[in-house]
Structure formats: C-alpha cells, structure tokens
Amino acid sequence: SENPTALIMIFGATGDLAKRKLFPSLYRLFKRGKLSERYCIIGVARRELTNSAFQESVRQSIEEAEGHHDDLNEFITHFYYHSHDVTDSSSYLALKTLANDLDTHYQLEGNRIFYLAMAPEFFGTIADHLKSDGLTDVDGFKRLVIEKPFGHDLPSAIELNNRLRQAFAEEEVYRIDHYLGKEMVQNIEVIRFANAIFEPLWNNRYISNIQVTSSEVLGVEERGRYYENSGALRDMVQNHMLQMVALLAMEPPIKLTDEEIRSEKVKVFRALKSLEGEAVKENFVRGQYGPSNKNNEPINGYRQEPMVKADSNTETFVAGKLIIDNFRWAGVPIFIRTGKKMATKSTKIVVQFKDIPMNLYYQHEKTLNPNLLVIHIQPDEGISLYLNAQKSGDTMNATPVKLNFSNNSVDHMNTPEAYERLLYDCMRGDATNFAHWDEVALSWSFVDKISQVWENQQAEQFPNYEAGTMGPKAADELLEKDGFHWWPVE
C-alpha cells in the first residue's frame, strides 16, 4: 500500500534535535522509499530565516550525517520555514494559512503531524494554540509528537497531560522515548516471544536475576542547568530504564498491536513494588561522580561542572533493585543501574539463569558458571548466550563458551536509526513504541517516592564514585546482599 502522506510541522526546527536527528531521519526514510511522494515539512522557530536559508541548513545537517547526495537538491524543496515565537498568539493564524496552502498544494489529505522538538515548558502553550487557532481542524488525522521530559514529577505530568488532552486524544499523542526506537530494544520482544528455548524459561523457576545497565562515559557537559533539576532518576530511570524493564517482564500480548502490547506493559508497572522511606534506602543507591586524576589526566567532578552547585545534592548515578510482584516474577530481583562519567558507554541487559540442580562438573574446583543471555543494546547491537561445554581433549570439565550474534556487521546505512523508525511509526499511526499515558503516570509515581526521600536528605557521602568507574561501592553491595554481582559490561 502507498505510504501515508502528512504535513509535518517541526517546532524547534533550528535546534539540536531537529538538525542531528529529525532531518537526517526524514531523508533516510525518503531514500528508502518510506516517505510518500507527497510530503511537506514546515520548520518553526523563533529566528528570522528565509525558506531558502532554512533549506540550506536542512541540507547541511543531512550532509553532516549522511554525506553528499544529488537528490538532496530536490528533497529540500519540500521544506518551508515559518518564523514564530510560540508564546506570541498572533502568529499562529499565519502558520495556519501557510499549512492550509501547503496542504492543498501537496494534496496532503488534511493529515498533520505536530512535532514538538522544543523545551518542555512550551508544550502546553503550543498545544493550546494549535487547537484554539484551528490548526488542528483538519479532515485527515492529527498527531502530536512530544519529546522528553514528560513532566518533572507526577503532578506536573498530570497537568501537562490534561492540557495536551484538551487538543489531542490519547491515541493522537506520541510520547517519544527514543530507547523504544532502538533495534535491540524492539528485539527484546522478538527474542522472548519467537524462541521456543526462552519463553518457557522466562520466569522465577529458571531466572535468578536480571541486570539492566545503561552507562555513559560523558558527564553533564553543557547541560548542568537542566541536570541539576533532573538527576539520573528522572532523566533515565523514569523513562528509558523502566521501559526496558517493562518489555523484559511483560506477559505475552494477545496480538502484536499497540493496544495489546501497551496494556501488558502497564500491568508490569502496576505490579512494580512501590518503595517508601527505609525501603528506598535498602533498595536504591544514589551516586555522584567526583574528580579523578587517572594517568595524570585531571577530570572534573560533577560539582566542578558549569552551572552545578558546589554542594549539589543531584545524583548522576542510580542503582536499584526492582521487585515485580506477580506470579511470573515473585522472588526475582531486577537490578538496574545508570550513570554518567562511568568506565564504559554501554547499554546491556543480562539475564542470569538459575544454577542446575546438581553439578556433575567442576572447573578447577570452581562451580559452574551460570547460563547468561546478554542483550547488547548500544553501542554494540547483538545477543550473546553463555553456555557450558567441554573443550576438545579436556574430559570431565565444563568451560564457559559464548555464542555471539552481532548486529553491527550489518551495513550502517541500512540499520534504521531510532528516530527514523519512530517517525515512520507515527506516520503509519502505530503507537507501539511510544509511551502511553498510563505508563508515564505509573512510572512517575514509582520514581517520585524515591526522589522525595533523596531530596529531603542531603547526600553526605557525595561525591561517592570517581569519574571513570562503574559507580559507588554501595551499588556492588546492593547485589552482594542477595548473593549476586554485576556481570561486567566490557
């Protein structure tokens, strides 16, 4: 069938996200024949720009990401610019006229996608005006794509959501969690539900624990001002980490539709055991990186970064033990950890299987290694399975062997980027890989109870991990209490 057509309006079209991700992704969709021949993009931002200057900036950002291509000349003629301060009410009518004209010119069937690639404080205002000034009065579909963060806590998320929902129905709101656009995050479902050797084992009888790590090497860079009010819990755990946990823990959906999948994910969030007071201290660890001077290379601690308070109480690292209180997962801890200025950049999931009931083999007096299934999300993409086998000539001993599938060998131009998939899904009206309001609300209510404890008590021990390491000692002790340890994520 033909690709759906729509007018795409990008608010914040001179910003970093538009340039680095959205324009290159649109071009890649075009290259792959996944964009309708009738397409049109309006860039909206505050700066004064002519259409042709805007088109040149679009060309430049695509060339930076994708190199030079002859068809770019034609591609960028479909881009238009509207200079507009989103807080200025008088400017929306001109935007509406432009949109209606282009709708007619390109025969876009009255389909509209509004992509808000701007600071979240503007989301509500823009949505109000889109409705009150009639930009959402269309014959076709209307969809709102909204970047993170979705609120700062549950009350502010509710307020934002109520406001957006005056203009858009829930099924018209596409809340971006770009982790859900990643190839290997989408693969969690396939690995689980398309393999006879995993699904029967995917429960508390055979799995001992699951570990989800997302570590960054970079610090806060220039984002100190934002990060001081956010911290790792809000920036990473509320959205990306809990989304991965939901995909790992959900029941098989009845069908692979967005409604069915999201309803199973919501049940995971509902089963997530809520932590309060002392339980927060027992099950969650916060960290903040301090300076380091390895190999005589001085690295700033978090408190030395620009726009960060000298006695900052903000966490740059979180480790936690999650309990999913349901039949499948009772007794199986799911450990998560994420942080900045860690030793490696890596997002990985390790599923550790229980030991077999009786061990007949010894490996130099040591016990057997457990079976591990490792899902590599980024930068490597792939799956590894650790088994025990006999090495040739070495009788009666079992040695760990690793079966490896790497997705990285696939030509890079051919693996779609997260934003490319998400844009395409939105155009097709498939909301599977976006966060539903119920998921957002439940994950905020989980996270808020932890923030309350942490915000009410200055972390005396900060900074508590050296830049360039895998986090504070307490994060290791969290697993040791249960007889586990973090598997390395080299």
Provide the binding-site residues for ligand NAD, judged by CB under 6 A.
Answer: 12-18, 20, 45-47, 84-87, 117-120, 147-148
Taking the least distance from each CB to ligand NAD, the nearer of 238 and 469 is: 238
295 backbone dihedrals φ, ψ, rounded to 5°: 50, 35
Establish whether 240 is a catalytic residue: yes
Task: State the nearest-atom distance from the C-beta of 213 to ligand NAD, in Å.
Answer: 20
Task: State the nearest-atom distance from the C-beta of 223 to ligand NAD, in Å.
Answer: 9
Task: State the nearest-atom distance from the C-beta of 120 to ligand NAD, in Å.
Answer: 5
Task: State the nearest-atom distance from the C-beta of 115 to ligand NAD, in Å.
Answer: 10
Taking the least distance from each CB to ligand NAD, the nearer of 13 and 185 is: 13
Q: Are 440 and 150 in contact (CB under 8 A)?
A: yes
Taking the least distance from each CB to ligand NAD, the nearer of 87 and 293 is: 87
Q: DSSP states of 395-437 as a string?
A: TT--EEEEEEEESTTS-GGGS--HHHHHHHHHHHT--TTS--H
The sign of the torsion formed by the CA atoms of 250, 424, 130, 50 equals positive
81 backbone dihedrals φ, ψ, rounded to 5°: -125, 140
Taking the least distance from each CB to ligand NAD, the nearer of 118 and 478 is: 118
Taking the least distance from each CB to ligand NAD, the nearer of 241 and 249 is: 241
The active-site residue, picked from 78, 152, 178, 240, is 240
Question: ∠ at Cα 172 (167, 175), nearest 5°?
Answer: 100
Q: What span, in angstroms and rounded, lies between the C-alpha atoms of 160 and 179?
A: 22
Q: In what order do the strands lie in the sheet with 7-11?
A: 79-83, 40-45, 7-11, 112-116, 142-146, 173-175
Q: What span, in angstroms and rounded, lies between the C-alpha atoms of 88 and 364?
A: 74
383: enclosing H helix or E strand:
strand 382-389
Q: Which DSSP state fits 251?
A: P
Q: Are 290 and 310 in contact (CB under 8 A)?
A: no
Task: State the nearest-atom distance from the C-beta of 198 to ligand NAD, in Å.
Answer: 32
412-443 in b/e form (b: 16+ CB < 10 A) is eeeebbbbbbbbbbbbeeebbbbbbbbbbbbb
Taking the least distance from each CB to ligand NAD, the nearer of 147 and 466 is: 147
Q: Are 339 and 217 in contact (CB under 8 A)?
A: no
Mention every residue, 6+ apart, whose C-beta is less than 8 A from residue 292.
Answer: 298, 299, 301, 466, 467, 468, 469
* Residues assigned a catalytic role: 240
